[in-house]
């Protein structure tokens, strides 16, 4: 008999934000194929009897091709194993789950999607900002700075929207130019959040215009852009500290 594949969201990093259903899947798995950015604390929750394999993809590093990951899932499930494909955040948001689902369907493998807390929600909560605000942010846009063909086009952005940019990369001058070209003024507030919800989390508040001068933060990182970002604070398990804000006067 064929096994089953669980496409599981690991959340933004804090193991306490892992869902009960995700934890149950990890504990009942025969094998776990996890992304590189899944936090070590979550990996430690996997029973020692489970075969664990890192199949993560990182820019500039040796990584596992997506086609190989697809083949691994199909081969293991075809052998009767229960497979967990563990992804950071939510598997349905900027993950490559669409390609994996197609491979499983072609092979007639049963699968189930277990959603997780996406990085945008985790980062915003940790930085203590809201993603929407009826006084200034009535729209919410999730975007990525990268796509299969290279840099992604952001299109025209509304000043009353909060834009969450996943994977901003390590050249913030390009991102700053993209945002300006999309219609956002240089004084628009933004917050860089690195390693959200973990003890090594960093939050840097700045503006679209000043973004180019900032030192790149460690991955995983994202950028929250809009009036709500002016209220971001640096938070962690050891206290809360306001981070400096440059030329930013949000109208809230």
Q: How many angstroms separate the CA atoms of 225 and 142, rounded?
A: 11
What is the pLDDT at residue 249? 35
Catalytic entry in 4, 14, 35, 73: 35
What is the pLDDT at residue 121? 97
Residues 128, 203 share a domain:
yes
What is the pLDDT at residue 241? 42
What is the pLDDT at residue 61? 59
CATH number at residue 35: 3.40.1010.10
What is the pTM (predicted TM-score) of this model?
A: 0.87
167 is catalytic: yes
When divided into structural domains, the chain yields a total of: 2
- Of 8, 184, 110, residue with least CA distance to 165: 184
Contact status, residue 65 vs residue 47, Cβ threshold 8 Å: no
What is the pLDDT at residue 231? 82
Residues 225, 187 share a domain:
yes
Residue ranges for the chain with pLDDT beneath 70: 58-62, 146-152, 234-252
Catalytic entry in 2, 21, 57, 214: 57
Domain boundary pick from 82, 114, 146:
114
35 is catalytic: yes
- Classify residue 95: in a domain, yes or no: yes
What is the pLDDT at residue 232? 79
Residues 142, 97 share a domain:
no
Using DSSP, state whether 220 is helix, strand or coil: coil
What is the pLDDT at residue 149? 58
- Classify residue 250: in a domain, yes or no: no
What is the pLDDT at residue 10? 97
Q: How many angstroms separate the CA atoms of 51 and 48, rounded?
A: 8
Catalytic entry in 30, 36, 167, 170: 167
Contact status, residue 246 vs residue 144, Cβ threshold 8 Å: no
Residues 190, 145 share a domain:
yes
What is the pLDDT at residue 8? 98
Q: How many angstroms separate the CA atoms of 140 and 184, rounded?
A: 15
CATH number at residue 213: 3.30.950.10
87 is catalytic: no
What is the pLDDT at residue 233? 72
């Amino acid at each position: 008999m064929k096994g089953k594949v669980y496409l599981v969201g690991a959340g933004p990093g804090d193991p306490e934000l892992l869902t009960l259903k995700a934890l149950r899947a990890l504990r009942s798995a025969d094998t776990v194929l996890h992304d590189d950015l899944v936090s070590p604390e979550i990996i430690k929750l996997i029973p020692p009897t489970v075969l664990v394999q890192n199949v993560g993809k990182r820019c500039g590093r040796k990584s596992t091709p997506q086609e190989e990951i697809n083949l691994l899932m199909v081969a293991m499930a075809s052998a009767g194993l229960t497979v967990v494909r563990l992804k950071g955040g939510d598997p349905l948001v900027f993950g490559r789950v669409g390609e994996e689902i197609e491979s499983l369907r072609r092979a007639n493998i049963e699968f189930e999607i277990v959603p997780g807390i996406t990085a945008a929600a985790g980062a915003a909560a940790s930085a203590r900002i809201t993603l929407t605000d009826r006084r200034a942010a009535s729209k919410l846009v999730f975007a990525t700075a990268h796509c299969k063909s290279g840099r992604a086009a952001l299109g025209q952005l509304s000043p009353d929207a909060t834009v969450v940019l996943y994977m901003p990369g390590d050249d913030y001058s390009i991102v700053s130019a993209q945002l300006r070209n999309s219609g956002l003024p240089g004084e628009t507030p933004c917050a860089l959040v690195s390693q959200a919800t973990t003890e090594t989390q960093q939050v840097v508040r700045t503006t679209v215009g000043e973004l180019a001068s900032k030192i790149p933060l460690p991955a995983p990182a994202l950028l929250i852009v809009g009036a709500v970002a002016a209220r971001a604070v640096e938070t962690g398990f050891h206290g809360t500290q306001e981070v400096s804000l440059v030329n930013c006067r949000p109208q809230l």
